[in-house]
């Protein structure tokens, strides 16, 4: 069978499984809709947590980033996996013992403040919508490439699937669907990696293979890639260009940002006991590590195969996959020297992405792009996001493996989108409607509001997937920075400091959030003060890492303000003590 037939088959089967699970596990109460009735086993919750976290960015983009960033890409591996260590040790068990539904719920009740709850809701909505827009766009791209439909049509299909199991099943339906999605995405990620590792090095373990010698050659694979890149004028893959302080800041921001993401934290409210939350965190880290330790290997395999397949090769002799990705707008070539060969070298072929530019076929059959930059000799544009999706095609793997990767990419995007949509719906129905405006609302009415909020969230997410803002890619870092600078200090001090009061927490969140927003808008988005360069960065820290500074400012402001304002009520101090010590029963916050 051809790739498209295999793709329809595998994607159709996986979607049927997701929908079947949603029908089987539909929510019948707010407890089931918000936290799956707190009856999920640690193993299932660990799988669901891993799927919730490993979005399209992890499945599709991370290996692509590492392919081109090389050593500098290690910050993503250290930051994102390290964040789960923080979750397991410092957050998950204590938040589970507190026994609330959401992060704004914890912050609002712990700091006995409507203002604190509203600030937390705003942060949760901003972070969640930022992520979900990228997930829906990723779904559209995968559909457009492998099912040969319009990107917008792909987004509509993704909206329909997510709408079905997120609105019907709530957290209960999402949890068991995510277990299935984890199985699909990890199988889809590992199978091509194992195949290619055997092809290149003879070793079936990718994590070992990318550090091994190439089959039939007395040279290590990494040394081979370094040589290919330096010969073409690129920096060596194993060299880094970032300063040590920037590497530290980015890693720390990603770690604490991960630990503060609301759609990840809420997963630990779904288990029955505090000990189960700890075990869930262990399983999640184990399941995540399988993909994250494989990503560098895929990055090396894909970049090596790509260079050897296309560089200095006649365009007319290139495999069909090259033209297919050209037509998808994620790959482009312009024959500058007229020799008919693809010239791959450092430098941008053009600014922006291929779909944004007029293109026509040249005399050699290439996509001739207008708005080209002329100061370099590069003829090839490669979108980083194709490295995982195109990797099996570049390596000439069987069609069913190529289709499997498409199913895995969709599973990763849809699993995270569902978790984010649930955070959005609970923030509206529970944290705003019930806690702020209608405390006496019935359980049934609250459930209907939650489902209505899910419908609205799906529509908004679909709109941004179809009409993505020009800065979607840029604000991914902003989402982590906001979570690091706002949520994390408030949660940590809410657990471990009885002296931290509402005045300190609110002031700290606003200060951390405000300075991070300003820095990102000025140095990442260029909305304030016009264009800037790395020479303008404060302390040499990039916008991606500034969430660490925002977090430090949050801590300083929170501690200082709380020192000069009244201590929290005694019942709040009792709550803090009860969640910190396993032997003590939870203390009600109803005062």
Closest CA to 68 of 307, 325, 359: 307
How far apart, in Å, do the first and last CA atoms of the chain sit? 66
pLDDT at position 357, please?
43
pLDDT at position 587, please?
52
Residue 448: CA count within 13 A, CB half-sphere: 4
177, with CB counted inside 10 A (0-12, 13-18, 19+), is buried
pLDDT at position 220, please?
94
Higher-pLDDT residue of 292, 350: 292
Closest CA to 289 of 190, 200, 412: 190
Q: HEC states along 24-84? A: HCCCCCHHHHHHHHHCECHHHHHHHHHHHHCCHHHHHHHHHHHHHHHHHHHHHHHHHHHHH
484, with CB counted inside 10 A (0-12, 13-18, 19+), is buried
pLDDT at position 263, please?
75
Residue 300: CA count within 13 A, CB half-sphere: 29
Roughly what angle, to the nearest 10 degrees, separates helices 274-310 and 74-86? Answer: 170
Q: How confident is the model at residue 165 (pLDDT cuts 50, 70, 90)?
A: low
pLDDT at position 500, please?
95
pLDDT at position 352, please?
44
What percent of the chain shows pLDDT beyond 70? 85
DSSP letters for 171-225: HHHHHHHHHHHHHHHHHHHHHHHHHHHHHHHS-S-HHHHTTSBPTTSSSBHHHHH
Higher-pLDDT residue of 142, 513: 513
Specify which residues 314 forms β-bridges with. Answer: 341
Q: Is the pLDDT of residue 504 over 80?
A: yes
The least confident of 215-229, 512-526, 563-577 is: 512-526
How many CB atoms neighbour CB 440 within 10 A? 6
* ∠ CA 423-424-426, rounded to 5°: 65
Tens digit of each residue's pLDDT (9 = 90 or more) over 359-382: 554 444 444 444 444 445 677 888
pLDDT at position 279, please?
86
For residue 425 the two structure tokens come to: 């719906």
pLDDT at position 186, please?
93
Task: Tell me the C-alpha to C-alpha distance, in Å, between residue 122 and each of 1, 435, 448.
Answer: 49, 15, 22
Phi and psi angles of residue 541, each rounded to the nearest 5 degrees, phi first: -100, 130
Residue with tokens 């400012």: 553
pLDDT at position 590, please?
43
Closest CA to 490 of 120, 41, 17: 120
For residue 262 the two structure tokens come to: 């609301």
Q: Is the pLDDT of residue 406 over 90?
A: no
pLDDT at position 227, please?
92
Tell me how far the alpha carbon of residue 14 is from its chain's centroid: 21
Residue 10: CA count within 13 A, CB half-sphere: 28
SS3 379: coil
User: What span, in angstroms and rounded, lies between the C-alpha atoms of 566 and 576?
Assistant: 17
pLDDT at position 586, please?
53
Q: How confident is the model at residue 477 (pLDDT cuts 50, 70, 90)?
A: low
User: What span, in angstroms and rounded, lies between the C-alpha atoms of 75 and 73?
Assistant: 5
Q: Is the pLDDT of residue 397 over 50?
A: yes
Are the beta carbons of 264 and 87 closer than 8 angstroms? yes
- Domain 3-304+398-580 is classified in which CATH homologous superfamily? Sodium/glucose cotransporter (1.20.1730.10)
Roughly what angle, to the nearest 10 degrees, separates helices 488-496 and 570-580? Answer: 90
In the chain, list all ranges with CATH 1.20.1730.10: 3-304+398-580
* ∠ CA 481-487-489, rounded to 5°: 100
Residue with tokens 């004028």: 233
pLDDT at position 589, please?
44
- CA diameter of the chain: 79
Q: Is the pLDDT of residue 64 over 80?
A: yes
* Element (DSSP H or E) covering residue 589: none
Roughly what angle, to the nearest 10 degrees, separates helices 547-563 and 472-482? Answer: 30
Average pLDDT over residues 394-400: 91
Q: How confident is the model at residue 36 (pLDDT cuts 50, 70, 90)?
A: low
pLDDT at position 366, please?
46
pLDDT at position 478, please?
67
For residue 187 the two structure tokens come to: 């199988």
* Element (DSSP H or E) covering residue 338: none
The rounded mean pLDDT for the chain is 81
What percent of the chain shows pLDDT beyond 90? 23
For residue 473 the two structure tokens come to: 């890619």
pLDDT at position 351, please?
47
Tens digit of each residue's pLDDT (9 = 90 or more) over 81-115: 888 788 777 887 887 777 766 778 888 889 988 88
354-373 as b/e, with b when 16 or more CB fall inside 10 Å?
beebebeeeebebbbbeebe
pLDDT at position 221, please?
93
344: Cβ–Cβ under 8 A, 6 or more apart, which residues? 232, 307, 310, 311, 312, 378, 379, 380
Are the beta carbons of 587 and 574 closer than 8 angstroms? yes
Q: Is the pLDDT of residue 247 over 60?
A: yes
pLDDT at position 354, please?
43
Average pLDDT over residues 425-449: 80
437: Cβ–Cβ under 8 A, 6 or more apart, which residues? none
């Amino acid at each position: 069978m051809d790739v498209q037939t295999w793709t329809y088959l595998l994607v159709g089967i996986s979607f049927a499984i997701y929908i079947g699970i949603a029908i089987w596990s539909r929510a019948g109460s707010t407890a089931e809709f918000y936290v799956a009735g707190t009856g999920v086993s640690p193993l299932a919750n660990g799988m669901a947590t891993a799927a919730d976290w490993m979005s399209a960015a992890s499945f599709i983009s991370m290996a692509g980033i590492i392919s081109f960033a090389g050593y500098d890409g290690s910050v993503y591996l250290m930051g994102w996996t390290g964040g789960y260590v923080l979750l397991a040790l410092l957050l998950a068990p204590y938040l589970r013992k507190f026994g609330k539904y959401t992060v704004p719920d914890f912050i609002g009740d712990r700091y006995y403040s409507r203002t604190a709850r509203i600030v937390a809701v705003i942060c949760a909505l901003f972070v969640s919508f930022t992520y979900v827009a990228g997930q829906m766009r990723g779904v559209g791209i995968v559909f457009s490439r492998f099912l040969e439909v319009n990107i917008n049509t792909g987004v509509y299909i993704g909206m329909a699937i997510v709408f079905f199991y997120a609105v019907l099943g709530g957290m209960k339906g999402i949890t068991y669907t995510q277990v299935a999605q984890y199985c699909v995405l990890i199988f889809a990620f590992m199978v091509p990696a194992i195949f290619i590792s055997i092809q290149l090095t003879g070793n079936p373990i990718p994590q070992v293979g990318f550090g091994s010698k190439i089959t039939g050659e007395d040279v290590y694979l990494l040394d081979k890639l370094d040589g290919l890149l330096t010969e073409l004028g690129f920096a060596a893959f194993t060299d880094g260009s970032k300063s040590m302080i920037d590497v530290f800041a980015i890693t720390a921001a990603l770690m604490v940002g991960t630990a503060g993401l609301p759609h990840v934290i809420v997963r630990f409210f779904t288990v029955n006991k505090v000990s189960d939350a700890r075990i869930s965190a262990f399983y999640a880290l184990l399941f995540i590590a399988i993909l994250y330790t494989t990503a560098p290997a895929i990055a090396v395999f894909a970049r090596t195969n790509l260079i050897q397949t296309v560089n200095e090769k006649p365009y007319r002799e290139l495999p069909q996959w090259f033209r297919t990705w050209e037509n998808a707008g994620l790959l482009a070539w312009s024959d500058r020297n007229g020799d008919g060969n693809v010239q791959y070298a450092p430098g941008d072929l053009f600014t922006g992405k291929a779909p944004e530019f007029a293109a026509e076929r040249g005399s050699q059959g290439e996509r001739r792009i207008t708005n080209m930059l002329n100061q370099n000799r590069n003829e090839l544009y490669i979108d980083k996001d194709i490295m995982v999706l195109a990797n099996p095609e570049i390596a000439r793997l069987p069609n069913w493996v190529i289709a499997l990767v498409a199913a895995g990419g969709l599973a990763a995007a849809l699993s995270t989108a569902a978790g984010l949509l649930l955070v959005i719906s609970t923030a509206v129905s529970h944290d705003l409607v019930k806690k702020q405006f209608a405390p006496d609302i019935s359980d049934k009415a609250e459930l209907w509001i939650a489902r209505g909020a899910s419908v609205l969230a799906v529509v908004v997410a679909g709109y941004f997937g179809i009409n993505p803002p020009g800065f979607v890619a840029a604000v991914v870092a902003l989402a982590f920075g906001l979570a690091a600078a706002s949520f994390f200090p408030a949660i940590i001090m809410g657990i471990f400091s009885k002296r931290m009061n509402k005045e300190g927490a609110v002031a700290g969140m606003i200060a951390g959030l405000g300075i991070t927003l300003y820095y990102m808008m000025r140095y990442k988005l260029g909305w304030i003060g016009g264009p800037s360069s790395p020479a303008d960065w404060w302390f040499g820290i990039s916008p991606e890492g500034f969430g660490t500074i925002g977090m430090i400012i949050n801590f300083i402001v929170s501690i200082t303000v709380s020192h000069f304002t009244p201590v929290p009520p005694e019942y709040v101090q009792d709550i803090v003590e009860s969640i910190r010590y396993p032997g003590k029963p939870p203390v009600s916050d109803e005062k």
